[in-house]
Amino acid sequence: MKDRFVSWEEAVRWLRARPEHEELVWNCYYDDPLEESAARFYASTEWRAVQDILKGVEPGKALDMGAGRGISSYALARDGWKVTALEPDPGLLVGAGAIRRLAECGLDITVVEKWGESLPFAEGSFDLVYGRAVLHHAADLSEFCREAGRVLRAGGIFLATREHVISRKTDLQAFLDSHPLHALYGGENAFLLKEYLDALKKGGLCIRTVLAPYDSDINLFPSDRNGIREKIGSKLGFSPPEWFLRKVVLPLLNIVDNTPGRLFSFMAVKKS
């Protein structure tokens, strides 16, 4: 492999061509057929946890920021949202071209090839702004969140999932060195938890929920709480009860796990 690929599209094509990376490709939803990959995401424990957060919210206009190949746009549209998929990469495999192909199955998805730091939408245009693993890719985190807050209507929901967090700035290089995809094309990043929270607040967003790594299947995917329970059970010789897992084991793991790049998710509401 050469040092770096010219584009993410080229990097993913290289990745998909190597059998030793088959599981990684599957877990990243880079496999084809694209519609089957998106349907698998829709059925995942991760998306079911997102649905739980949005339970009771009437579907309206949603902006999927950094939509990639469109799996989240697909899921939102299947749940009744009128989706605008924001994706600056035009790629046919992992960019805007892929999303347009996915939308051909009859879903209400419009693709816009722009960057999150400068959104071409009027203030208050959306009822939901959603991003899966997108904030840590922002060139300017504060501006990205300000723009997200600007285009969200008063009372609207902002949901950012699977964001990489580091405990100290000196942890960043260790995270980048350990990331399975960063060496291919670059572009990965991580921020302090405080940096995410400050940026959201500056964007006029009132933080309602901060999900630590073990608080939700959103962050745990491709594992889930049952997977952790089985893993612990195999070490203990018995399966711990659900209440013990929820009230003791998972909170303890949130405290002791300081892995650089661990995943957090955030739910916030636009101030009235």
pLDDT at residue 232, rounded to an integer: 87
Asked if 102 and 110 count as a contact pair (C-beta separation under 8 A), the reply is no
Tokens at residue 242, please?
């659900």
CA–CA gap between residue 217 and residue 46 (Å, rounded): 5
pLDDT confidence tier of residue 239, bands split at 50, 70 and 90: confident
pLDDT single digits (tens) 77-119: 999 999 999 999 999 999 999 999 999 989 999 999 999 999 9
Residue 15 has pLDDT above 70, yes or no: yes
Residue written as tokens 């990959």? 37
221 vs 211: CA distance, rounded Å:
13
Residue 1 confidence (pLDDT) above 60: no
Selection from 161, 36, 50, 48 nearest residue 101 by Cα: 36
Alpha-carbon gap, residue 231 to 266, rounded angstroms = 27
Q: In a 3-state reduction of DSSP, which class is residue 179?
A: coil
Is residue 3 over pLDDT 70?
no
pLDDT confidence bin for 235, thresholds 50/70/90: confident
Instruction: State how beta strands 152-166 and 262-270 pair.
Output: antiparallel
Residue appearing with tokens 């190949």? 69
Query: Averaged over 151-172, what is the pLDDT?
Result: 98
Distance between CA atoms of residues 162 and 176, nearest Å? 16
Using one digit for the tens of pLDDT, what is the confidence trace for 168-219?
Answer: 999 999 999 999 999 999 999 999 999 999 999 999 999 999 999 999 999 9
pLDDT for the residue 261 = 98
Q: Is the pLDDT of residue 2 over 60?
A: no
CB 147 within 8 A of CB 120: no
**What is the crossing angle of helices 34-42 and 96-103, to 10°?**
80
Residue 113 CA to residue 84 CA, distance in Å, equals 10
Long-range contacts of 256-259 (CB under 8 A, 24+ apart): 257/213, 257/214, 258/167
The mean per-residue pLDDT over the stretch 42-62 comes to 98
Q: Please, what sign has the CA dihedral across residues 25, 30, 34, 37?
A: positive
Pairing of strands 152-166, 126-132: parallel
Domains along the sequence of the chain with CATH: 8-213+261-270 (3.40.50.150), 221-256 (no CATH)
